[in-house]
C-alpha cells in the first residue's frame, strides 16, 4: 500500500511539472511546426503530420499527447531568386494525471523563405495561437471521498479552486537555414539536407495560473535544432543525425542521436516510374531522462514511425524502464514532384 501511494504521488508530481512546461516529442524531427514555425515550407511544398505519444502508462493514468500539423507553400519556389511564402496550422492536445490536467492549443503560422543560392535559403516565421488549459477536479479521487471503508464518488472533493479552466493568446517566432541538394545521377542516389534553426514560443508570457488573483507567467521556450541527411556515396544508405535543445525557465532538455536509412527501392528522378521505399532505424538520447529507439518506414509521399523511450532517470525504479510509446504518420509533397526528396 505504501509503495502504491508513493507511485501515485510521484506520478501526480510529474503530471503537474510536465504541464507547467511545454510538451515534447521523441520524434522531434517529424513534428516540424512544434519544433520551429520557420520549418513550414522549408523542405517540402506541402506536409501533413500526425503524432501521438503515450507516456508513463506503467505508473497509472498516462500522459497522452496528440499533435496535428499542416503547411503549404503559397508561392512557387524558384531557384536562386525571390522568396517563398508558406502558411501552417498546428493543433496540440495534452492530457495527464488524476485529476485530469488537459490543454489544447491551435496556432496559425506564416513563414517566408528567402532563396540565397541554388541550394540554400533562410526562413523566418511568426506564429499566433489560442490555448486552453483545464483541471477537472471531479475526475480525481480525494481523501475526503473515502468513507472509512471504500472510495465514495458521491462525496465532495473538498477542493475550491477559483478557476479550473483558463484561456490565453500565444505568440512565437522562428528562423531557420535550409540547404537541400539532390543527387545529380539519373536515380536519386545521393541527397544532402541540412536544417539549422532557432525558435521562441510564449513571447507574450501568458498567465498560466489557475487562481484568479495570482499571476504565473509561462516562461519563454527557446529551441535550437541542427539536423541533416547525408547519403553515403556508393551505397544505398544515408545517415540522419540530429541535435535538439530546449530551454524554458530553469528547465532544459537535450535530445541527440542519429538514424541510418537504407533505401530498398530508389526513385527514378525524371520519369517517376519507381517509387522510393526506405527503412530507417537508430538511437537517440534525452539527457538524464531516456534512451530512445526509433524505427521509420518511408514510401513515396508517406511515412510511418514508431519510437520507444526507455527511462534512465530516477523514475526507472518505478516505471521498470517503460517511459513512452510514440507513433507518427506523415504525408509530404516536394516542389519537383511527390517523391523528389525522401527525407
- Give the separation between CA 197 and CA 209, rounded to whole angstroms: 31
Q: pLDDT at position 304, please?
A: 97
Say if residues 259 and 266 touch (Cβ distance below 8 Å).
no
What would the grid cell of residue 28 be?
A: 522531434
318 is a domain residue: yes
Q: pLDDT at position 77, please?
A: 65
Q: pLDDT at position 160, please?
A: 61
CB neighbourhood size of 113 (10 A): 24
228 is a domain residue: yes
In this prediction, residue 318 has a pLDDT band, given cuts at 50, 70 and 90, of low
Please give the model's pTM, rounded to 2 decimal places.
0.82
Cell numbers 530508389 correspond to: 266
User: Which residue has better confidence, 53 or 62?
Assistant: 53
Mind listing the pLDDT tens digit for each residue in 259-305? Answer: 999 999 877 655 566 788 999 999 999 998 899 999 999 998 999 99
In this prediction, residue 232 has a pLDDT band, given cuts at 50, 70 and 90, of confident
As for how many domains the chain has, the answer is 1
User: Which residue has better confidence, 246 or 135?
Assistant: 246
338 is a domain residue: no
Mind listing the pLDDT tens digit for each residue in 188-208? Answer: 456 788 999 999 999 999 987
252 is a domain residue: yes
191 is a domain residue: yes
343 is a domain residue: no
- Give the separation between CA 45 and CA 336, rounded to whole angstroms: 9
- Give the separation between CA 304 and CA 342, rounded to whole angstroms: 13
340 is a domain residue: no
**Stretch 36-63: mean pLDDT, rounded?**
88
Phi, psi of 37 (to 5 degrees): -65, -25
Phi, psi of 161 (to 5 degrees): -65, 135
DSSP conformation letters of 52-84:
EEEE-GGGSSPEEEEEEEEEEESS---TTSSEE
CB neighbourhood size of 271 (10 A): 8
189 is a domain residue: yes
Say if residues 245 and 230 touch (Cβ distance below 8 Å).
no
- Give the separation between CA 340 and CA 328, rounded to whole angstroms: 21
Q: What percent of the chain has pLDDT over 90?
A: 48
Domain hosting 312: range is 2-333
186 pLDDT above the threshold of 50: no
Buried b (16+ CB within 10 A) or exposed e, 293-310: ebebebbbbebebebbbb
What CATH number has the domain bearing residue 131?
A: 2.40.160.40
Using CA atoms, how far residue 300 sits from 28, 144, 199, 266, 331, in Å, is 21, 57, 30, 10, 9
Q: pLDDT at position 235, please?
A: 87
Say if residues 71 and 26 touch (Cβ distance below 8 Å).
no
Using CA atoms, how far residue 93 sits from 27, 66, 125, 204, 333, in Å, is 16, 5, 23, 21, 26
CB neighbourhood size of 146 (10 A): 12
In this prediction, residue 136 has a pLDDT band, given cuts at 50, 70 and 90, of confident
Q: pLDDT at position 272, please?
A: 60
Q: pLDDT at position 316, please?
A: 65
In this prediction, residue 217 has a pLDDT band, given cuts at 50, 70 and 90, of confident
In this prediction, residue 133 has a pLDDT band, given cuts at 50, 70 and 90, of confident
Buried b (16+ CB within 10 A) or exposed e, 58-97: bbebbbbbbbbbbbbbeeebeeeeeebebebbbebbbbbb
**Stretch 26-48: mean pLDDT, rounded?**
93
Give the chain's mean pLDDT.
Answer: 82
What would the grid cell of residue 237 be?
A: 544508405
Amino acid at each position: 500500500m505504501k509503495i502504491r501511494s508513493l507511485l501515485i504521488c510521484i506520478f501526480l508530481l510529474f503530471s503537474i511539472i510536465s504541464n507547467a512546461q511545454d510538451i515534447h516529442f521523441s520524434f522531434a524531427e517529424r513534428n516540424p511546426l512544434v519544433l520551429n514555425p520557420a520549418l513550414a515550407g522549408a523542405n517540402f511544398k506541402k506536409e501533413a503530420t500526425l503524432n501521438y505519444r503515450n507516456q508513463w502508462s506503467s505508473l497509472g493514468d498516462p500522459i497522452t499527447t496528440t499533435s496535428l500539423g499542416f503547411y503549404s507553400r503559397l508561392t512557387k519556389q524558384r531557384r536562386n531568386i525571390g522568396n517563398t511564402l508558406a502558411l501552417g496550422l498546428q493543433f496540440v492536445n495534452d492530457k495527464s494525471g488524476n485529476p485530469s490536467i488537459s490543454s489544447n492549443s491551435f496556432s496559425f503560422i506564416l513563414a517566408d523563405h528567402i532563396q540565397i543560392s541554388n541550394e540554400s535559403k533562410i526562413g523566418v516565421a511568426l506564429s499566433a495561437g489560442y490555448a486552453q488549459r483545464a483541471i477537472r477536479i471531479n475526475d480525481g479521487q480525494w481523501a475526503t471521498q473515502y468513507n472509512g471503508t471504500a472510495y465514495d464518488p458521491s462525496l465532495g472533493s473538498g477542493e475550491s479552486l477559483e478557476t479550473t479552466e483558463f484561456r490565453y493568446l500565444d505568440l512565437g517566432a522562428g528562423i531557420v537555414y535550409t540547404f537541400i541538394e539532390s543527387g545529380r545521377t539519373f536515380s536519386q542516389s545521393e541527397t544532402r539536407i541540412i536544417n539549422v534553426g532557432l525558435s521562441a514560443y510564449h513571447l507574450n508570457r501568458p498567465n498560466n495560473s489557475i487562481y484568479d488573483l495570482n499571476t504565473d507567467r509561462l516562461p519563454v521556450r527557446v529551441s535550437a535544432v541542427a539536423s541533416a541527411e547525408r547519403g553515403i556515396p556508393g551505397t544505398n544508405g544515408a545517415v540522419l543525425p540530429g541535435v535538439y535543445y530546449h530551454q524554458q525557465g530553469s528547465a532544459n532538455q537535450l535530445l541527440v542521436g542519429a538514424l541510418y536509412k537504407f533505401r530498398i527501392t530508389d526513385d527514378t528522378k525524371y520519369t517517376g516510374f519507381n517509387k522510393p521505399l526506405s527503412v530507417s532505424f537508430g538511437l537517440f538520447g534525452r539527457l538524464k531522462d531516456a534512451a530512445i529507439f526509433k524505427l521509420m518506414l518511408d514510401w513515396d509521399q508517406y511515412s510511418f514511425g514508431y519510437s520507444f523511450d526507455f527511462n534512465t532517470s530516477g523514475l526507472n525504479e518505478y516505471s521498470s524502464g517503460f517511459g513512452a510509446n510514440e507513433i507518427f504518420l506523415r504525408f509530404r509533397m516536394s516542389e519537383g514532384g511527390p517523391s523528389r526528396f525522401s527525407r
